[in-house]
Amino acid sequence: MSEQATARKSLTELLPAAAIKAIDVFVAKYPSDRKRSAVMSSLMIAQENNAGFLSEELMDAVADYLEIPHMAAYEVATFYTMYNLKPVGEHVINVCTNISCMLRGSKEIVEQLNKKLNIKFGETTTDNKFTLKEVECQGACAGAPMCEIDKVFHENLTPESINEIVDNILAKSTASADKAEG
Ligand code: FES
């Protein structure tokens, strides 16, 4: 990834005004020479306003906005699994496979999702509805095995319950599409 700017757009050109305002709220929490501290929140806001993923251009623009090196934004975006570095489906299913979840059956949950959605980790369904991701401990070990979808934690999963959760999301998304059309 290059630091050189070649007619790149600024963050204010890439994101809606409301998103910039939300980033400014985080930036204002820190001294002006510590804008780097707002990088995680800023990247998340940028991602949420870019169909759920961070392009290189967007990461560079966030870094420029915070007046930090581009590399500082890449480091954060590549380290944490909550950032998506390529386009994702409408719903991202983040399945924890860390120790507690593994001991309590995350493998069966993953297998069920592989079968139901016909995708593996890192893939998106052909209808662009779901992306499946493997994540580290989400701090919800007491409810293992668990996954997070659209910022909602689903705990004590079984193959049957994850099936039902996916079906419910699909049903809701079909209903809202029908409503929008009709
Ligand atoms: S190991 Fe899965 S939430 Fe902690």
d(CA 61, CA 168): 37
**pLDDT above 90 covers what percent of the chain?**
87
137 CA → ligand 1 middle, Å: 4
What's residue 178's pLDDT?
Answer: 77
Same domain, 109 and 68: no
Query: Whole-model pTM?
Result: 0.85
Does residue 5 belong to any structural domain of this protein? no
Same domain, 66 and 123: no
Does residue 29 belong to any structural domain of this protein? yes
97 CA → ligand 1 middle, Å: 7
Which of 38, 57, 79 finishes a domain? 79
Does residue 6 belong to any structural domain of this protein? no
**pLDDT of residue 126 exceeding 80:** yes
Top mutation candidate among 82, 137, 156 for ligand 1, by most atoms within 8 Å of CB: 137
**pLDDT of residue 2 exceeding 60:** no
**pLDDT of residue 4 exceeding 70:** no
Range of the domain at 20: 11-79
d(CA 162, CA 154): 8
What's residue 181's pLDDT?
Answer: 73
> What mean pLDDT is predicted for residues 129-134?
97
Task: Kindly report which listed range (29-33, 118-122, 144-148) carries the lowest average pLDDT score.
Answer: 29-33
26 CA → ligand 1 middle, Å: 28
What's residue 63's pLDDT?
Answer: 97
In DSSP terms, 130 is beta-bridged to 91
Do 11 and 20 form a contact (C-beta atoms < 8 A)?
A: yes
Does residue 157 belong to any structural domain of this protein? yes
Does residue 177 belong to any structural domain of this protein? yes
Does residue 136 belong to any structural domain of this protein? yes
What's residue 182's pLDDT?
Answer: 64
58 or 178, which is more confident: 58
Same domain, 150 and 174: yes
Top mutation candidate among 96, 153, 154 for ligand 1, by most atoms within 8 Å of CB: 96
Counted domains in the chain: 2
CA nearest to 41, candidates 69, 83, 70: 83
Same domain, 35 and 64: yes
5 or 173, which is more confident: 173
